[in-house]
């Protein structure tokens, strides 16, 4: 049965700006869905206000509307496109579903004769209305935790009295667990209850008896219109019930489930999906399992849409859930679709893994001073990484190495806690570092039973940790010379980095690398193929591992490698790792364009990244995907294997850029701007010399390495001062100080956090206007792609400022200075590729704040606003395929485009919402206005100074 | 338990290729068999005890094996039936409050030799490309020539009759003897969960040895027949084929699973063949041609029924197809209550999607009784 031929034009709703709980996984799912529908010749119309996404690129959909996600926009789009037959609301998270429901309630879909596909409204209502959901579950015999609904404060109190503590409060119709909390202490109940009632749009909360410590699982399902259901992936949360699944360390496949219990869970999941409604598409079901002999299974929730977990499940298994879900929504059945990986077998099957994946969330508590760092029912992480290995231990190590928090893995870096009380406290109150603290606890000799008692983490995982500890102890008995091949291989198989082994043996990382290469212990690459090698797979999606040898009948020994190196010229694009504040989806946009442009130039493209939420880690973005930590050792081994022409580092944000020095040192060619130039821009001293030579003004500044030096410097520069560490991201640790006391305490605190850092002190230009320019330079010519003016005054991080493209009140004289400076600096830095320069404008003089010869946060925004593929152009320039003058630039924009930051402060109720030089926003949206009389602009402008903190 | 050094071990294939690894536990050992792989991510204990795997060296593709220990109830026969085990990571530590032993203890109780730390993915790819073959796993890493010689003595699976090795020696009764429905089952390697499924639906089953005649099976005047799953090549099972031919004359409902499905085909004059490397896993997609619906099924077979001959047969109809390679997955005899499937509706391990086949069998029995 082929697809429905009455669907010719489909509207997809995106998820809007990135916020905690709804991140770039929906860029991934939306992009897949768009591609999937277009494959079938369907006209696609997209609405999404997030300019940093790939999905909103003109190449992704037939018509892209970068408009606010509200029913007004929907009506306008439906008027423009009366031929839209259906809306697919399941690819844009809860935001899209909520908008779809609102439009449905207003009768909009009916008015325009638009069918909702991929879900039915009743199903959404059932799953979101906890009372209805509960009734239904009890009706079909699926167990639920004791629970009751409160629509008033009084009712809530009554329920608490009946159930006793601990309790869980969840607000209805909210995202990422907003308004949810676990209440241990009856005294805190009143406040948390009111908070929950407040944040729920229908002022309703569910109160559950807490199933603390129960094991937690998630199943990802797909169903077609013939009611065929398959389970794509079972994910086990290492952190048991009590921590939001988005904040939990999760593992696939499920590690500690017997077939009997798993099959019961599978039956329940299918039964649940069938009972909530009749629709074709994806679905996510969460369960809790009692950690005792009974193995009782209880349903937690069901989401009739693709989710963060389905993005993870797609990357974990290779099965593209969103792509297939979109096909099912237009009427295909699973049995008539191909497995997208093998291309020879059926899509109606359940992937099987011969490896393990571990997902670890990435938090940014450092950005929210005063925030509650405890993990609980409300999601707080801003991104995630996934590690793939041939064992849980290897995957766990690779995930920890992917986090980019200056850890090399578990243990063996001298950074662990050694104090008993601290460790016990950190085990008891889970936060971002518990994954490391468990190892510290074992190192200190705290019994596993005790760790289990406190954390409720399944003993199997703890035993795996313990094995790592035993191995570390064993290795530490040797030296680099005396360590045996068998032991070194075992350490590598369990994911220990060369650096960690070097720490254990007290030698250099390079010595470990040399020893293992000599012993032929080399990284090999294995395929993610959905079928554990049962069938030949066609998709080049790899991860690395270490394996035992194989001997052919003629006595030749080798280690099996699935990644065959081709003869083609290759380019490696380094990805930007986990999303975090200051480095988000915009860099994934740049990386994807870098890959596509390199492919256009005839290169085989190789992507290295470890973020499962992204389009860059989709298996059909690059010619080869290495799902690996953006960590020196892994990257270098891939480069040794592939021997690329060079590596593009300027598209993957600070993550990729940081590796430029080492790459350069090891003789790997950096494509585009050289390491020396990157370094020159970063080194404040040399950079200001360069500015001086070019007669470009900059705020007075100095470098200090101690509080004493800083205080002396302050006398020279005068207050207010902008203090910041060097080589950091998104203004981390950056602060404006107005007196010596502030300065001293800030410097002391910074140097404690980042020892040996060179701190930069700038004279802060009070009341200045901030602007920035992005440009492409080929070393000879410079083309300025856009100049943006910040609405807020200088002092608020550029990522947190509202900004307009083009500037709204800079005079010709100032603009000319900006243009001149940009060109001079780009050329002086020998930029080949992109450059972003930030300016402070005071009294008609343009000062340089900083220059970054790399893709910036604003490049995707400008590309979207002007409708031009700037990253594509810049990549071709970097590769030397094109010169700036080869392009016909033709930016199109009537009026202004305003970049509006979006914050996730609601997840951190006690955090100061003041803005300053340290970035706090999680996402952004774009707003087009015709002129400056627009109300939105007026609002922003009138409030511009309100949030500035010093 | 501190860090432990494991003994070196290997798997030597018939064609001379060697994959290195380590011995599981602290044992020396050697085991011969045909190497095959199972892609299930759960249910290792059920697989190891499934009589259909008799004589096989099992490669488990799941990255970890043994995580949830072993459970006295989660077995498909009274002992381990595989000949040897090859895994990537062996879990010496398990976690499950309901478990009775660790997997290591379970293997030791059954005297099963296992090796770990093998590049199982490369091994599976190798078997996939070169076909199923005999092999030996051993800790005798310095005696490769001797192992090679011993390996040549192991008979090929093609043409090998194994049902006699796993079948019951004497008939026995399973289930409630007062049950209204009586089923006579031919045991050519029957899994316990099939018996549980039949008994659960209200039948009393008399289980007969592999060489029972139709006359013997009719002695208890059964209402229906069941031909079980089992190991090896179906062709040499001349007694079972003959018995099935005779049973068909009784015009009573008959249901066959796996090897029983092949026997039913052979009894109808359809040939069977050895597959390149068979279907072994719990994620196999089947299309039920009669309903148009898909099922995810548990499978374990190295032989299959000839499709062309079945399609040309006047009395037979193909009811189920394997969606990956279009092999015959289910047949029925037209106008009769006789049907069989190549896969395992009793699951254990695996999904319960095909559970309805037992219901269908019972509906047929009830209909024939009225």
CATH fold group of domain A146-209 = Dna Ligase; domain 1 (3.30.1490)
Half-sphere exposure of A632 (CA within 13 A, CB side): 20
- How many other C-beta atoms lie within 10 A of the C-beta of residue A552? 12
Average pLDDT over residues A160-189: 82
Q: How many CA atoms lie within 13 A of A860 on its CB side?
A: 31
Token pair recorded at residue A867: 């409708």
Residue written as tokens 């999941």? A269
CATH topology of domain B8-152: Glucose Oxidase; domain 1 (3.50.30)
Q: What is the CATH number of domain A9-117?
A: 3.40.50.20
- Identify the sign of the CA torsion A269, A274, A276, A277: positive
Q: How far is CA A921 from CA A51, A788, A790, A802, A903, in A?
A: 15, 18, 15, 11, 4
Q: Give the DSSP per-residue string, A396-425.
A: HHHHHHHS-SS--SSSSSS-S---HHHHHH
Tell me how far CA of residue A646 lies from CA of A620, A855, A870, A879, A882, in angstroms.
21, 18, 21, 9, 17
Interface of B with A in 58-97 (CB under 8 A): 61-64, 67-68, 71, 74, 88-89, 91, 93-97
| Amino acid A946: pLDDT | 65
What's B156's DSSP letter? P
Structure tokens at A301: 């929730």
pLDDT at A8: 96
3 state DSSP class of A205: strand
Of B2, B118, B323, which is closest to A470 when you measure between CB atoms? B2
Residue ranges with strand state E in chain B: 8-13, 18-23, 30-38, 56-60, 64-65, 84-86, 89-90, 114-116, 133-138, 172-174, 181-186, 203-208, 224-227, 254-257, 272-288, 293-305, 316-322, 328-333, 338-341
- Residue A521 token pair: 């212990």
- For residue A889, which of A901, A877, A907 has the smallest C-alpha distance? A877
- Is B14 in CB contact (< 8 Å) with chain A? no
> 3-state SS of chain B: helix, strand, coil percent to 5?
25, 30, 45
Q: What is the pLDDT of residue A174?
A: 78
- How far is Cα B290 from Cα A271, in angstroms, rounded to an integer? 23
Give the mutation candidate from B2, B3, B62, B132 for the A interface (greatest A CB count, under 10 A). B3
Beta carbons of A560 and B119 less than 8 Å apart: yes
In the numeric block, which tokens belong to residue B323?
């969606």
Interface of B with A in 92-121 (CB under 8 A): 93-98, 117-121
Tens digit of each residue's pLDDT (9 = 90 or more) over A112-144: 999 999 988 888 888 888 788 989 999 999 999
**Do A768-942 and A215-351 fall under one CATH topology?**
yes
Q: Is B56 on the interface with A (CB under 8 A)?
A: no
CA A847-A850-A855 angle, 5° bins = 130
Of all residues in chain B, the one with the smallest CA distance to A468 is B3
Mutate to test the interface with B, among A297, A354, A476, A560 (most CBs of B within 10 A): A354
Q: Is the pLDDT of residue A722 over 60?
A: yes
How far is residue A664's CA from residue A675's CA, in Å, rounded to a whole number? 7
Q: What is the rounded CA–CA span in Å between residue A725 and residue A710? A: 12
**Domain boundaries defined on chain A:** 9-117, 146-209, 215-351, 359-521, 700-763, 768-942
For A215-351, the fitting CATH number among 3.30.70.3270, 3.30.420.40, 3.30.470.20, 3.30.70.580 is 3.30.470.20
**Token pair belonging to B181:** 């429905």
Chain B hits for A533, Cβ within 8 Å: 61, 121, 124-125, 128
B346 is catalytic: yes
**B57, β-bridge pairs:** B35, B84
pLDDT of residue A591: 97
B45 is in an annotated binding site: no
Residue A622 neighbours by CB under 8 Å, 6+ apart:
A573, A595, A599, A605, A606, A607, A616
- Over range A410-429, report the average pLDDT: 94
Is residue B104 within 8 Å of residue B25, measured between CB atoms? yes
Q: Is B248 annotated as belonging to a binding site?
A: no
SS3 content of chain A, % helix, strand, coil (to 5): 35, 20, 40
CATH code for residues A700-763: 3.30.1490.20
Q: What's the confidence (pLDDT) of residue A196?
A: 87
| Confidence check: pLDDT of A395 > 90 | yes
Q: Does residue A678 carry a pLDDT above 60?
A: yes
| B4 carries a ligand binding annotation | no
**Nearest CB partner across the interface for A552, out of B17, B88, B349:** B17
Q: What is the CATH number of domain A768-942?
A: 3.30.470.20
* Residue numbers of B between 329 and 368 with CB closer than 8 Å to A: 347-352
- What's residue A906's pLDDT? 82
Res. A939 pLDDT band, cuts 50 70 90:
confident
Model ipTM over 0.95: yes
Strand A803-805 relative to strand A896-902, pairing: antiparallel
Would residue B143 show up in a list of annotated catalytic residues for this protein?
no
Taking the CA atoms of A487, A491, A497 and A502 in sequence, report the sign of the dihedral they define. Answer: negative
pLDDT in tens, A830-865: 999 999 999 999 999 999 999 999 999 999 999 999
Residue of A295, A533, A547 with shortest CB distance to B128? A533
Q: Does B249 reach chain A within 8 Å, measured CB to CB?
A: no
Ranges under pLDDT 70 in chain B: 1
The DSSP secondary structure of A851-907, one letter per residue, reads: EE-S--THHHHHHHHHT--HHHHHHHHHTTS--GGGS------SSEEEEEEE--GGG
Nearest-Cα distance to chain B for A271, in Å, is 11
Q: Report residue A544: phi and psi, to 5°.
A: -100, 160
CA distance A128 to A126: 6
Q: What angle do CA A176, A178, A183 make, to 5 degrees?
A: 115
Sign of the alpha-carbon torsion through B262, B268, B274, B277 = negative
pLDDT at A442: 97
Q: Are B229 and B257 in contact (CB under 8 A)?
A: yes
pLDDT at A730: 66
A334: which chain B residues are within 8 Å (Cβ-Cβ)? 294
B344 as an active site residue: the answer is: yes
Contact list in B for residue A228 (CB cut-off 8 A) is 293-294
**Is A547 in Cβ contact with B122 (below 8 Å)?**
yes
Residue B142 in contact with partner chain A when CB distance is under 8 A:
no
What is the tens place of the pLDDT at every residue in A262-281?
999 999 999 999 999 989 99
pLDDT band at A950 (very low <50, low <70, confident <90, very high): very low
* Fold (CATH) for B163-369: Rossmann fold (3.40.50)
Q: Which residues contact A863 (CB under 8 A, 6 or more apart)?
A: A785, A869, A870, A871
Contact criterion met (CB below 8 Å) for B97 and B69:
no
B271/A contact by beta carbon, under 8 A: no
Indicate which residue of B279, B284, B320, B344 is catalytic.
Answer: B344
State whether residue B222 sits within 8 Å of chain A by CB: no
Q: Strand A701-704 vs strand B316-322: parallel, antiparallel, or unpaired?
A: unpaired
Mean pLDDT of chain A: 93
Q: What is the mean pLDDT of residues A67-79?
A: 96
pLDDT at A201: 86
Shortest CB distance from B88 goes to which of A390, A531, A536? A390
Question: d(Cα A738, Cα A279) in Å, to the nearest integer?
Answer: 60
Q: Do B323 and A349 form a contact (C-beta atoms < 8 A)?
A: yes
Q: Count residue pairs from A and B with Cβ separation < 8 A.
A: 194
Cβ A769 vs Cβ A846: under 8 Å: no
Find the farthest-apart pair of alpha carbons in chain A and give their distance in angstroms, rounded: 81
pTM for the model stands at 0.95
A327-374 tens-digit pLDDT: 999 999 999 999 888 888 899 999 999 999 999 999 998 888 788 899
DSSP E strands in A147-228: the ranges are 147-150, 167-171, 181-183, 205-209, 215-223
Task: Identify the CA nearest to A398 among candidates A538, A545, A283.
Answer: A545
Domain residue spans in chain B?
Answer: 8-152, 163-369
A359-521 CATH: 1.10.1030.10
Q: Do B2 and A262 touch (CB under 8 A)?
A: no
Measured in degrees and rounded to the nearest 5, phi and psi for residue A847 equal: -100, 150
Tell me phi and psi for residue A453, to 5 degrees. Answer: -55, -45
């Amino acid at each position: 049965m082929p697809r429905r031929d009455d669907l010719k034009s489909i509207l997809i709703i995106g998820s809007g700006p990135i916020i905690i709980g709804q991140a770039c996984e929906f860029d991934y799912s939306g992009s897949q869905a768009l591609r999937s529908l277009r494959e079938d010749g369907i006209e696609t119309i997209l609405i999404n206000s997030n300019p940093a996404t790939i999905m909103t690129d003109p190449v992704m959909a037939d018509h892209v509307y970068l408009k606010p996600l509200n029913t007004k926009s929907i009506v306008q789009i439906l008027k423009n496109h009366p031929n839209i037959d259906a809306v697919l609301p399941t690819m844009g998270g809860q935001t899209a579903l909520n908008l779809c429901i609102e439009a449905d309630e207003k009768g909009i879909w009916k008015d325009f004769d638009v069918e909702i596909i991929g879900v039915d409204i009743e199903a959404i209502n059932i799953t979101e209305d906890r009372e209805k959901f509960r009734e239904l579950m009890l009706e079909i015999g699926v167990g639920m935790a004791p629970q009751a609904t409160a629509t008033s404060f009084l009712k809530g109190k009554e329920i608490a009295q009946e159930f006793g503590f601990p309790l869980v409060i969840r607000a209805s119709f909210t995202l990422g667990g907003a308004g949810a909390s676990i209440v241990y202490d009856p005294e805190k109940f009143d406040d948390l209850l009111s908070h929950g009632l407040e944040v729920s749009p229908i002022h309703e909360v569910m109160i559950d008896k807490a199933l603390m410590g129960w094991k937690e699982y998630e199943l990802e399902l797909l169903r077609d219109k013939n009611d065929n259901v398959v389970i794509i992936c079972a994910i086990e949360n290492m952190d048991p019930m009590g921590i939001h699944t988005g904040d939990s360390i999760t593992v696939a496949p499920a590690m500690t489930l017997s077939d009997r219990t798993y099959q019961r869970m599978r039956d329940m999941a299918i039964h649940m999906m069938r009972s909530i409604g009749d629709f074709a598409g994806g679905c996510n079901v969460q369960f809790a399992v009692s950690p005792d002999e009974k193995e009782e299974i209880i349903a937690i929730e069901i989401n009739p849409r693709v989710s963060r977990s389905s993005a993870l499940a797609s990357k974990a298994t290779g099965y593209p859930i969103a792509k297939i879900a979109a096909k099912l929504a237009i009427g295909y059945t699973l049995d008539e679709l191909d497995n997208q990986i093998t291309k020879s077998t059926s899509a109606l099957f359940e992937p099987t893994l011969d490896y393990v994946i571990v997902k670890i969330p990435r938090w940014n508590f450092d950005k929210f001073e005063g925030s509650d760092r405890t993990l609980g029912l409300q999601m707080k992480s801003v991104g995630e990484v996934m590690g793939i290995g041939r064992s849980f231990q290897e995957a766990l190590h690779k995930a920890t190495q992917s986090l980019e928090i200056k850890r090399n893995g578990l243990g063996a870096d001298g950074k662990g806690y050694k104090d008993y009380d601290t460790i016990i406290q950190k085990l008891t109150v889970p936060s971002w570092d518990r994954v490391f603290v468990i190892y510290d606890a074992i190192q200190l000799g705290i019994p596993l039973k005790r760790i289990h008692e406190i954390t409720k983490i399944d003993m199997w995982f703890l035993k795996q940790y313990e094995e790592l500890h035993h191995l570390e102890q064993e290795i530490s008995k040797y030296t680099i010379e005396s360590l045996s091949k068998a032991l070194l291989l075992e350490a590598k198989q369990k994911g220990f980095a060369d650096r960690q082994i070097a720490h254990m043996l007290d030698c250099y990382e390079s010595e470990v690398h040399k020893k293992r290469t000599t012993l032929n212990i080399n990284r090999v690459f294995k395929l993610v193929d959905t079928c554990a090698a049962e069938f030949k797979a066609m998709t080049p999606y790899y991860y690395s591992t270490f394996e035992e040898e194989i001997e052919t009948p003629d006595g030749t020994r080798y280690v099996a490698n699935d990644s065959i190196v081709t003869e083609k010229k290759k380019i490696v694009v380094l990805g930007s790792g986990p999303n975090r504040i200051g480095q988000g989806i915009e860099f994934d946009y740049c990386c994807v364009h870098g890959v596509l442009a390199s492919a256009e130039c005839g290169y085989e493209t190789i992507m290295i990244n470890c973020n499962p939420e992204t389009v860059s880690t989709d298996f059909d973005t690059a010619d080869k995907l290495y799902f690996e930590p953006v960590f020196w050792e892994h990257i270098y081994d891939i480069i040794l294997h592939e021997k690329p022409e060079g590596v593009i580092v300027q598209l993957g944000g600070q993550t990729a850029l940081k590796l430029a020095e080492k790459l350069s040192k090891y003789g790997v060619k950096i494509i585009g701007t050289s390491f020396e130039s990157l370094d020159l821009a970063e080194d404040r001293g040399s950079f200001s010399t360069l500015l001086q030579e070019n007669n470009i003004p900059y705020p007075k500044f100095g470098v200090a390495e101690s509080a004493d030096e800083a205080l002396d410097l302050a006398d020279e520069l005068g207050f207010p001062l902008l203090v910041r560490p060097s080589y950091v991201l998104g203004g981390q640790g950056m602060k404006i100080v107005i007196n010596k006391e502030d300065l001293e305490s800030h410097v002391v605190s910074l140097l404690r956090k980042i020892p040996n850092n060179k701190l930069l002190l700038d004279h802060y230009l009070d009341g200045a206007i901030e602007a920035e320019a992005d440009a492409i330079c080929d070393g000879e010519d410079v083309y300025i792609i856009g100049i943006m003016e910040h609405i807020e005054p200088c002092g608020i991080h550029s990522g947190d400022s509202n900004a307009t493209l083009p500037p709204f009140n800079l005079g010709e004289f100032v603009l000319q200075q900006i243009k001149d400076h940009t060109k001079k600096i780009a050329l002086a830095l020998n930029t080949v590729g992109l450059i972003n320069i930030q300016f402070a404008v005071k009294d008609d003089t343009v000062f340089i704040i900083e220059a970054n010869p790399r893709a910036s946060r604003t490049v995707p925004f400008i590309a979207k606003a002007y409708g031009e593929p700037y990253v594509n152009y810049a990549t071709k320039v970097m590769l030397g395929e094109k010169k700036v003058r080869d392009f016909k630039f033709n930016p199109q924009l009537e009026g202004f485009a305003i970049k509006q930051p979006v914050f996730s402060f609601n997840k951190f109720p006690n955090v100061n919402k003041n803005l300053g030089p340290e970035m706090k926003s999680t996402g952004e949206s774009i707003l087009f206005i015709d002129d400056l009389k627009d109300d939105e602009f007026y609002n922003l402008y009138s409030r511009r100074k309100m949030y500035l903190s010093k | 338990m501190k860090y432990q050094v494991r003994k070196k071990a290997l798997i030597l294939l018939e064609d001379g290729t060697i994959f290195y690894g380590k011995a599981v536990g602290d044992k020396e050992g050697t085991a011969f068999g045909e190497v095959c792989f199972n892609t299930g991510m759960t249910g290792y204990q059920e697989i190891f005890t499934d009589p259909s795997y008799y004589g096989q060296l099992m490669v488990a593709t799941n990255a970890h094996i043994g995580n949830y220990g072993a459970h006295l109830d989660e077995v498909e026969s009274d002992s381990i039936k595989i000949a040897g085990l090859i895994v990537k990571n062996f879990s010496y530590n398990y976690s499950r409050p309901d478990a009775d032993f660790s997997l290591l203890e379970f293997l030791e109780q059954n005297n099963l030799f296992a090796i770990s730390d093998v590049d199982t993915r490369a091994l599976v790819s190798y078997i996939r490309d070169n076909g199923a073959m005999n092999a030996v796993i051993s800790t005798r890493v310095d005696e490769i020539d001797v192992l090679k010689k011993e390996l040549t003595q192991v008979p090929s699976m093609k043409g090998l009759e194994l049902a006699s090795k796993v079948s019951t020696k004497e008939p026995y009764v399973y289930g409630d003897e007062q049950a209204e429905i009586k089923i006579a089952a031919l045991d050519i390697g029957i899994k316990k969960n099939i018996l549980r499924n039949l008994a659960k639906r209200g039948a009393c089953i008399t289980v007969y040895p592999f060489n029972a005649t139709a006359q013997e099976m009719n002695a208890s005047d059964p209402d229906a027949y069941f031909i079980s799953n089992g190991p090896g090549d179906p062709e040499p099972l001349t007694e079972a084929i003959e018995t099935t031919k005779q049973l068909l004359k009784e015009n009573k409902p008959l249901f066959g699973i796996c090897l029983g499905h092949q026997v039913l085909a052979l009894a109808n004059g359809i040939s069977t063949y050895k597959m390149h490397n068979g279907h072994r896993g719990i994620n196999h997609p089947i299309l039920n041609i009669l309903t148009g619906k898909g099922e995810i099924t548990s499978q374990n077979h190295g032989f299959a029924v000839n499709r062309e001959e079945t399609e040309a047969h006047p009395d037979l109809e193909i009811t189920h197809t394997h969606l990956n390679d279009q092999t015959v997955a289910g047949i029925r005899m037209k106008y009769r209550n006789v049907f069989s499937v190549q896969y395992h509706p009793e699951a254990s391990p695996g999904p319960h999607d095909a559970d309805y086949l037992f219901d269908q069998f019972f509906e047929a029995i009830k209909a024939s009784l009225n």
